[in-house]
C-alpha cells in the first residue's frame, strides 16, 4: 500500500509528498517553505536517515516506521502556533485508536497513568502506549519573507521497531502486538489532523484542545519530576494552563508553571533524574 491522504484531508486542500527514505522530513518541509511552498503539505517517509527530536537529540526512523511532517504557513502569532504540538498529539492518539483493534493494546495501569486510554499524551510532545514512548512530536519554525513564518510539525512513530538504548522505556506497535503499517497509520493521521485542526480553529478553540489533551494526559495527578536546564523540580502534576504550559504543585504547596523541560513520572520521578 502506498501513502495516501484521507479524502477529508484532500478535500481541504492538503497535499502529499511521499518518499522511501529521506534525511529529515522536517528539514525537507522547511526547505520547501523557504522556496515558496504555501503550506498544507504532508512530507512522509518510512525511513529517515538524520531525524532529530527535542533539544537536538537524534530520532531513529528505521525502515517501516513512520516519519511524517506537516508544513503549515499560518497567519497568526508564532506563540500560538506552538500549541499545534498539542493538536498533533491528539490527532495521532485518535489515529492510533482508529487503526489498532481494541484489546490488542491494554490500558496502562502502572502508576504513571490514570488508566483511561490505550494511548496517552505525555507533556509536551510524546505519545505513550503501556507507559512506554511510542511516538514523538517536534515543532520547528523558519522565518520567511514579509514577516511570515513556516511551522514544520514532525511526527515520528515507532511502528515496527524502537530504540533500546534509552534512559526511559520505549516500544513499537509491533512489539505491542499490533499489525498496523506506516501507510495505514498515516491515512488515519491525515484524517484525524483535519478534525482536530478544525477544533483548534486558528487558536480560537485552544481551550477545547486543552480539555481534550488533559483527558488523555499521562501522569495527571501523580508525582512528577521535571528537569529544567540541569535542575530538577518535583511535585504533583496538576494541569496544563491556558497556554498549555505544565503546572505542578511542589512539596511546599507552591504552584509552578513550566514552559519547557523533560518530564518524568512515577518511580522515575522519585529517583534521581
Cα–Cα distance measured from residue 165 to residue 167, given in angstroms and rounded to the nearest whole number = 7
Q: Are 173 and 158 in contact (CB under 8 A)?
A: yes
- Judged against a pLDDT cut of 50, whether residue 114 lies above it is answered with no
Q: List all residues 6 or more positions away from 3 whose beta carbon is below 8 Å from its beta carbon.
A: 16, 18, 44, 182, 183, 186, 187
The three cell numbers of residue 168 are 526511559
pLDDT tens by residue, 74-95: 988 888 999 999 999 999 999 9
- All 3 cell numbers of residue 76? 497568526
Its pTM stands at 0.90
**Which letter does DSSP use for residue 101 in this model?**
P
- The predicted pLDDT at position 52 comes to 57
Hey, how many other C-beta atoms are within 10 angstroms of the C-beta on 97? 16
Interacting residues of 75 by C-beta distance below 8 A, sequence separation 6+:
148, 202
Tell me the pLDDT tens digit for each residue of 137-195. 999 999 999 889 999 999 999 999 998 877 788 999 999 999 999 999 999 999 999 99
Res 266: pLDDT? 64
pLDDT in tens, 12-42: 999 999 999 999 999 999 999 999 999 999 9
Q: Per-residue DSSP letters for 84-123?
A: HHHHHHHHHHHHHHHHSPTTSSPPP-SSSS-S--SEEEET
213 pLDDT higher than 90: yes
Q: Which is nearest to 85 in space by CA: 223, 243, 238? A: 243
Residue 110 pLDDT exceeds 80: no
pLDDT greater at residue 150 or residue 117 = 150
Q: What is the pLDDT of residues 126-140, one digit of tens each?
A: 999 989 999 999 999
Residue 91's nearest CA partner among 59, 119, 64, 112 is: 119
Q: What is the pLDDT of residue 57?
A: 57
The answer to whether the beta carbons of residues 203 and 21 sit under 8 Å apart is: no
Query: What's the pLDDT band for 102 if we cut at 50, 70, 90?
Result: confident
Q: How confident is the model at residue 112 (pLDDT cuts 50, 70, 90)?
A: very low
C-beta of residue 222 within 8 angstroms of C-beta of residue 236? yes
Query: Is residue 109 scored above 50 in pLDDT?
Result: no
Look up cell 507507559; give the residue. Answer: 131
Amino acid at each position: 500500500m502506498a501513502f495516501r491522504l484521507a479524502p477529508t484531508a484532500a478535500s481541504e486542500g492538503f497535499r502529499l509528498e511521499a518518499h522511501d527514505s529521506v534525511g529529515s522530513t522536517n528539514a525537507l518541509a522547511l526547505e520547501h517553505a523557504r522556496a515558496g511552498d504555501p503550506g498544507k503539505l504532508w512530507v512522509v517517509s518510512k525511513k529517515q536517515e538524520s531525524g532529530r527530536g527535542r533539544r537536538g537529540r537524534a530520532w531513529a526512523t528505521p525502515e517501516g516506521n513512520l516519519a511524517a511532517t506537516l508544513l503549515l504557513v499560518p497567519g497568526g502569532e508564532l506563540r500560538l502556533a506552538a500549541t499545534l504540538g498539542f493538536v498533533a498529539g491528539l490527532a495521532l492518539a485518535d489515529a492510533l485508536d482508529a487503526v489498532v483493534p481494541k484489546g490488542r493494546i491494554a490500558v496502562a495501569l502502572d502508576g504513571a497513568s490514570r488508566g483511561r486510554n490505550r494511548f496517552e499524551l505525555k507533556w509536551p510532545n510524546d505519545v505513550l502506549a503501556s507507559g512506554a514512548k511510542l511516538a514523538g512530536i517536534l515543532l520547528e519554525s523558519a522565518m520567511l519573507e514579509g514577516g511570515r513564518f513556516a511551522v514544520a510539525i514532525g511526527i515520528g512513530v515507532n511502528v515496527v521497531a524502537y530504540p533500546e538504548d534509552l534512559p526511559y522505556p520505549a516500544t513499537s506497535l509491533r512489539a505491542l502486538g499490533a499489525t498496523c503499517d506506516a501507510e495505514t497509520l498515516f491515512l488515519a493521521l491525515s484524517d484525524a489532523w483535519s478534525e482536530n485542526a478544525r477544533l483548534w480553529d486558528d487558536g480560537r478553540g485552544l481551550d477545547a484542545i486543552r480539555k481534550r489533551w488533559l483527558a488523555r494526559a499521562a501522569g495527571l495527578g501523580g508525582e512528577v519530576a521535571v528537569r529544567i536546564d540541569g535542575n530538577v523540580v518535583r511535585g504533583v502534576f496538576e494541569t496544563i494552563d491556558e497556554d498549555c504550559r505544565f503546572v505542578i504543585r511542589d512539596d511546599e504547596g507552591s504552584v509552578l508553571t513550566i514552559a519547557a523541560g523533560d518530564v518524568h513520572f512515577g518511580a522515575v520521578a522519585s529517583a534521581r533524574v
